[in-house]
Structure 1
Amino acid sequence: MNENQPSLTARTSQRVFISYRSQEPDASLARQFHDQLVAAGHEPFMAAASINWGENWVARIDEELKRCDYFLLLLSEQSASSDMVAGEVRTARRLWDKLGKPVILPIRVNLPMDDPLNYELRSFLQTIQQKSWKSEADTPIIMGEILSLLDKGEAPEPINEEIAPKPAIESINRPPLPVADLELPGGTMELASQFYIRREPWESRCYEQVEKNAGLIRIKAPRQMGKTSLLARIRHHATAQGFRTATLDFLETDETIFEDLTVFLKRFCALISRKLGISPRQVSEFWDEELFGAKENCNDYFEEYILKDLTVPLFLGLDELDRLFPYNAVAKEFLGLLRSWNEKAKVNETWAKLRLAIVHSTESYVVMDKNSSPFNVGLAVEHSSSP
């Protein structure tokens, strides 16, 4: 294992997301891997076997991608041209770059190693070892290698140099796969990027909203639709107005933090404090669990240590908020707290300094009273595939 790569924890059970197309032999092979992983004590996710009838497909896939430790990619001619598979790979690679997981394990299913992939897939996979499956005889060999990695919590050695693919033979039965190194942007775009598409009138309305007392912006869109790029521009605008600013990306928060409200809110206050140049140790010194609840402590800390002495507004951006949604109890309390802060900002001079932007990819299924939810106040911005 490469010492420079992040390492997962060795444990008896790993979460494995299986990405595949529902065509043969992909579907049968995915099922074999799924069943053998279950038999070995691991927790595989396979859409056809794991998503219940009537369940929100997109939301569940997003949730599982964020929770998984390993991403098992069955790469065939069909999946190589699938937008859904490309989106899953894109998300998995982004999570790996940020969190060191999931480990991506590509398996070429009847797809030669010298067969070129499209530019996007090649850019994501070119430094990752790929295995080749040609027949049923390869299944136990590959499965053994996968189980060995999972048992140790390791990732394969990365490839140091890209191997240029050989030209592919054209086939009328296969969609064309561009292999030129196009300059395609991905992820959050730089503020000066020429690829960024400004969506009007919504972007200007966001700037107007953030300048108002009790300003609250709600940005919702599918993956890779520019949510984080828009948030970065709103923050830049706030900075240009002389505001203090802080943004949190919940992808960077350890999963266990979301399971306990006190732990979550203390970490939340500590992170905001550190970003504003305040010692995060003051959170522990201020917090009184004997006399007050977690929300009361968080509320009072924010008022006394974060907002009280500010002479300018504070812009607070919360990205990937949907990472919190599966943890219903904690999500309900935190979302209610955000709503209460917004209501106080309308009548209280101290809280009027706070301007909020919350960003998420999926709907919130947290059951809340309409008067305590932040999802029915402020400016709602929904990005779609059309500018």
Structure 2
Amino acid sequence: MMLNKSIELFFSYAHEDEELRDELAKHLAILKRQKVISTWYDRDISAGDESKQEIEKRLNSADVILLLISADFLASDFCWGIELKRAMERHEAGEARVIPIIVREVDWKGSPFGKLQALPKNAEPVTNWANRDQAFADIARGIRRAVKDLRALPSNPNQNSSFYIERPPIETNCYQTITQPGALLRIKAPQKMGKTFLLEKVLDYGRKQDYQTVKLDLRLAEKNILADYQSFLKSICVEVAESLGLEAQLENYWRELYGLNKNCTRYWQKYLLPSLNKPLVFALDNFERLFAYEELFDNFCSLLRGWYELAKAETKVGLLWQQLRLVVVHSTEVYPKLDTNYSPFNVGVAMELPEFTQQQVAQAATHYPLEGKLSEAGLQELMELVGGHP
């Protein structure tokens, strides 16, 4: 994981916007002090450095490229023809994350970055905000979320894929599912079949679509939390809020008079979902951890099914819930019986991972010392011994 790696940010901007760039840099100072990010812009060029070469070097090494969009930026041949062009090439190749930041009013629709999610909220230009500190704080939170996603990726981009053998068309079907508003994707397989690897690929695909992603691994849930449903729901709400760079603010939305599922739904509907400016892929890994807690499992499944049904309505509330894309990952263990009308396990899209074919086993063997040593007969013997289980 890239947990200890400082993410390198590159500022692409017109010099007419330098004061706005400096203000943004102040709001990112806490991330620099925490050694979460390092930043670079052309004023950092040392005396004697070749200006253009140094800019291109930094542009090619940056993890995140911030485009400070204004009329001057769009009019600059260097910003448009060199920095923007290279930034989008690296973004499309998955080598860097490009984040447009609208600093001054300008018509930027239809530009190469027009399909990307811009900051601040609703792409409202910074100079249009009554309080610019609020605009820059919103931008800083968006950058923090992007950086958190990047730091969660493997330090070697091929680390996961090296040991993941694709089972077409499962991967493509999963990717297509999470692009659907209000989707519910269920990934099911026995233990050690590659469910979590597939989930990481799905989340990575979501990030490349500029979606926000939050993954909760239920194996990490403590028993005292699982023993109390209210604590369980509140812990999920707080963890999701923090993952999105938001203050928890549970006390503003949780009402003692309401039931727990209603309170949780209310918190998401009135606070979390309206705070999003892009789809959210919310993944629950190792869902089977809940099977042993029958009452909690029954109530939580009813909650998830309710969220899925809310997204079906073509109303203001329904459109809010359509931003949420649920992914539930679980083993093939028998789960407690559920009312079919309140179960998330009979709706949405189900993907069950099959065992490897002999060809896929041979492909997997290339990642181990077996490569070149496993004859056709040996491969057949291995298949008979372990089947197609990875």
With normalisation by structure 1, the TM-score equals: 0.49
